Structure 1
């Protein structure tokens, strides 16, 4: 079992080894030269970090975290122990006692973005370059201890509706305010769905995927069938935009029928099929979605649509 302790100068070589292995495993957008340059920066920063912790097992350094007040500067774990809880233990150690925590993540690192989204971090802004001016876009994340009071389901629904109807606020403010509402939601599935939607609408699809999946896992279908039907469309659309078209197709084929979505699942299924290179199927699905609305020619249209995918 890993132990978290303050790092000593004698740990620095092991820390740099962990950093390089982790970066090489999770940052494919960096060239070897980029990694070398960044490694020199990390080596220079380590002695300057006010709070530098390591996770160790016996004498082996498994990961490290560096923080300066309420800002997490670095968090890296050896790839051999990814998904073992080491990263979360380090993150908890360096953020303990802070109601607000900030950190940056590379926009091109979806694994890290999912990790932080699952731990309550929300994007608050974006920079086109990293802190040294290099052309690696960075998302600036924030996590707050949320204590938004709840006035019951009806009041909560009213505030959600008012937030979505308010066209005067920008994407980042909407995400932040939705985070507050999510914390006060009458059921976790409702909060996860609305938070996923706010991230999705702002283009943060990696993070939206995390919260949509959480809403499903928390039982949204039992809590709110209308939202659950909308979730299928929204989540599948997000998966399609993330390049996970096969998952999107399966999800949309199994979409529940509900008045709140109407023919939308079929329309989005057509889009997913087209993205998957299955154009004839896509056209058939789109035509069959429209066919019931035609005033006449229905039988002919159904036959023509079916012929599109006949061998």
Structure 2
């Protein structure tokens, strides 16, 4: 896959040695995406070490995909697994890309890879995150009416449940290059 980042890009399953780079993207993407939504003190104090340890535990379970430039620099990731809610079989737990990769098609490539072969997928997204909501809606997810409130650093943040039912071929036809 060729990206507008000016470098060849590969979307592939993560391996445990990717954990530090995935954690770095995770921490930076939170700061970029949630500034003004999540309290600054929470964003500024995200622990790279704790995040790395989490990904070292989670990556071996599968369901984590990374987007890497030709120099192996990871610029995004997606994570999918069994749904934590009874309304779907699978859940897209996370999809994050560095701000420099916004609007490049990378998110669609990651989501397509992570959701390949899945037919019933849900996710939770902050209601006050219009960029993410537009992305999910463009991909084909629709809000199903469920809402919940998560308290982060003393701030009550409303989350919306989105659902996507796919055919047997997996991810919808987005008109973007596949991850293969």
Cα drift, residue 31 of structure 1: 2.5
Relative distance call for 1:53 and 1:91 in structure 2 (3 A) is: same
Cα drift, residue 134 of structure 1: 6.6
The answer to whether the 8 A contact 1:130-1:138 is kept is no
* Structure 1 residues not aligned, in runs of 5+: 147-311
Partner of residue 50, structure 1: 62
Matches within 5 A, 1:77-116: 77-116=97-136
Structure with bigger strand share is 2
* Structure 2 residues not aligned, in runs of 5+: 1-7, 83-89, 168-180
Q: For this pair of structures, how many residues does the alignment match? A: 147
The alignment's TM-score, normalised by the length of structure 1, stands at 0.43
In the alignment, the residues of structure 2 paired with residue 107 and residue 62 of structure 1 have an alpha-carbon distance, to the nearest angstrom, of: 25
| 1:7 lines up with 2:27 in the alignment | no
Cα drift, residue 100 of structure 1: 1.1
**How big is the alpha-carbon RMSD for the aligned residues of Structure 1 and Structure 2?**
2.7
Residue among 158, 167, 170 paired with 1:137: 158
Relative distance call for 1:15 and 1:38 in structure 2 (3 A) is: same
Q: Secondary structure at the match of 1:56?
A: strand
The answer to whether the 8 A contact 2:9-2:68 is kept is yes
In the alignment, the residues of structure 1 paired with residue 120 and residue 17 of structure 2 have an alpha-carbon distance, to the nearest angstrom, of: 31
Matches within 5 A, 1:20-169: 20-28=27-35, 29-35=37-43, 36-37=45-46, 42-46=51-55, 47-48=57-58, 49-58=61-70, 59-69=72-82, 70-124=90-144, 125-129=146-150, 135-145=156-166
The answer to whether the 8 A contact 2:27-2:46 is kept is no
In the alignment, the residues of structure 2 paired with residue 20 and residue 119 of structure 1 have an alpha-carbon distance, to the nearest angstrom, of: 24
Cα drift, residue 145 of structure 1: 2.7
In the alignment, the residues of structure 1 paired with residue 49 and residue 153 of structure 2 have an alpha-carbon distance, to the nearest angstrom, of: 12
Structure with larger Rg: 1
Higher RCO, 1 vs 2 (CA within 8 Å, ≥6 residues apart): 2
